[in-house]
Amino acid sequence: MDAQETMLSPTSASSKTTAKPRQGFATSLGAIAATLGSAVGLGNIWKFPYMTGENGGAAFIVVYLLCLFIAGLPVMLSEFVIGRRSQANAVRSFKKLAPGTPWHFVGVAGVTSAVVIMFFYSTVAGWIYAYIFKSAGGALAAVDPAQTPAVFDALTASPVTPLLWQWVVLAVVGTVIIAGVQNGIERVAKTVLPILFLLLLVCDIRALTLSGAGAGVNFLFRPDFSKLTPGMFLAALGLSFFKMSVCMGVMTTYGSYMGPEDNLPSSMLKVALSDTLVSIMAGLAIFPAVFAFGYQPDAGPSLLFITIPMVFNSMPLGQLFLTLFFLLAAIAATGAMISLMEVPVAYLSEEKDWPRTKATLVSVLTVALFGMLGTFSTSILSHVKVWGMTFFDFFDFSTSSILMPMAGIAISIFAGWVLGKKVIVDEASNHGQLKNQTFLSILSFILKYITPIAVTIVLLSGLGLIKL
């Protein structure tokens, strides 16, 4: 059977398959919930608001939506197609669709990125867990807001507390993963996502009913296009990848858990819309309050741990709302971590034929081990530099600025040119059953010609090789 034939008829693919029956998501809604659980994360609660704040508000959101359309969504659909058609993990999927070619290195890059991202994502998730208890216990309710940065500095400068919280995060994630795709990932996503929505809504209502909230709403919804810069475009493009959890094998793995009747493009749009809604709701919980109390919207990454506690503590019932806010941030971060962890677990259990529990333990322990370098980057290892960066920054940079854009370019070329429009339309229309061919043709065109070029520009400029 040649490569082309394999691509077109995955069910008859001759590549070796694992003896174990493969479990996927039980329902279409469950698949959407799990995917949304991955998409909603620190990207919504932390990156999206601070980047919007730094880049002039609504104009950035418009640019972000455009980037979603030319990069995030086409790559997401490609990964769904690659995963579902091959019914295999992030690496084997490429081996099945393009046997005997080096394309599976894209999968290897994805698994590597997923693992390396966890080295620092689990650190930040640990800080968030710690902040739930700090806010509930009143440690952040300092009368003098000037104390808020000191609380963050004290937490991150300690080598012990953040490490213990990182381990708590990993234990929670490991437990969900061991429970399985249906009983763990799918069930948890269906349970916690409505809670997250509700908590966010409560925080929104609190923020929007503050006097002076209008300035924050204007900031979010009134675009000032005079603020547009090429740098903003690059940031938005990167964010669209990060938000949609693409280029790390996550969506390929989740695609492989989707059933033959699932409507891939419609699931993708539902996830993207809900994810954007959650980001905007997070912005609505934050900016009206920031403006109402006279703080600056462009605090950058410290927005979450410094500005937000200061702002929330300035308002009535602040301690309660701050606790709820960190609780929802913890739910979001944990959901994203779960999807990242599933990538190496699916890979190890299928390729090495390990039981799921063993694959999970090995993955969790690896992240715990190297994740220490991330956690210690603000304390005992703060002086150690790799390419002039702390380990934490290095893990972030090597994935977000190098591995992920490279994988993004490769995936779009693979989908647009190697699989081609025919396979994409066939798979994503459920072999012609769904009448979405026009939409798919547009996406295939974008994938083939626009995404690889746009992402190459992002990669080169991220590396400082071109200046826009």
Q: x/- binding map, residues 312-341, to ligand PHE, per CB under 6 A?
A: ------------------------x--xx-
Partners of 386 in beta bridges: 389
Interface residue with ligand PHE, options 36, 42, 328, 411 (CB under 6 A): 42
Is position 250 an interface residue for ligand PHE (rule: CB under 6 A)?
Answer: yes
Is position 243 an interface residue for ligand PHE (rule: CB under 6 A)?
Answer: yes
What residues from 44 to 73 belong to the interface with ligand PHE (CB under 6 A)?
44
Interface residue with ligand PHE, options 43, 344, 405, 408 (CB under 6 A): 43
- Stretch touching ligand PHE by CB under 6 A, among 41-49, 83-91, 206-214, 253-261: 41-49
Q: How many CA atoms lie within 13 A of 202 on its CB side?
A: 17
Is position 245 an interface residue for ligand PHE (rule: CB under 6 A)?
Answer: yes
d(C-alpha 460, C-alpha 117), whole Å: 21
Smallest gap from residue 142 Cβ to ligand PHE (A): 29
Record the tokens describing residue 159, joined without a space. Answer: 């080598």
Residues whose CB is less than 8 angstroms from the CB of residue 355 and which lie 6 or more positions away in sequence, other chains included: 349
Vertex 268: Cα angle to 263 and 270 (nearest 5): 95
- Stretch touching ligand PHE by CB under 6 A, among 159-167, 242-250, 257-265, 436-444: 242-250
Nearer to ligand PHE, 140 or 336 (CB): 336
Interface residue with ligand PHE, options 10, 24, 41, 107 (CB under 6 A): 41
Record the tokens describing residue 303, joined without a space. Answer: 């927005």
- Stretch touching ligand PHE by CB under 6 A, among 38-46, 168-176, 280-288, 417-425: 38-46
Separation of first and last alpha carbons in the chain = 47
Q: How far is CA 146 from CA 131, 149, 238, 295, in A?
A: 17, 7, 33, 12
Are 56 and 297 within 8 A, CB to CB?
Answer: no
d(C-alpha 185, C-alpha 177), whole Å: 7
Smallest gap from residue 385 Cβ to ligand PHE (A): 25
Nearer to ligand PHE, 245 or 461 (CB): 245
Is position 399 an interface residue for ligand PHE (rule: CB under 6 A)?
Answer: no
CB atoms within 10 A of CB 298: 16
Are 22 and 33 within 8 A, CB to CB?
Answer: no
Interface residue with ligand PHE, options 70, 97, 155, 248 (CB under 6 A): 248
CB atoms within 10 A of CB 171: 11
Q: How far is CA 300 from CA 122, 283, 308, in A?
A: 20, 14, 12
d(C-alpha 215, C-alpha 290), whole Å: 9
Is position 38 an interface residue for ligand PHE (rule: CB under 6 A)?
Answer: yes
The values of phi and psi at residue 411, to 5°, are -65, -40
Interface residue with ligand PHE, options 233, 242, 291, 395 (CB under 6 A): 242
Smallest gap from residue 113 Cβ to ligand PHE (A): 8
Smallest gap from residue 137 Cβ to ligand PHE (A): 26
Smallest gap from residue 24 Cβ to ligand PHE (A): 19
Size of the site for ligand PHE (CB under 6 A): 14
Is position 122 an interface residue for ligand PHE (rule: CB under 6 A)?
Answer: no
Nearer to ligand PHE, 250 or 327 (CB): 250
With 0-12 / 13-18 / 19 or more C-beta atoms within 10 angstroms meaning exposed / middle / buried, residue 352 is exposed
Chain residues in the site for ligand PHE (CB under 6 A): 38-39, 41-44, 242-243, 245, 248, 250, 336, 339-340
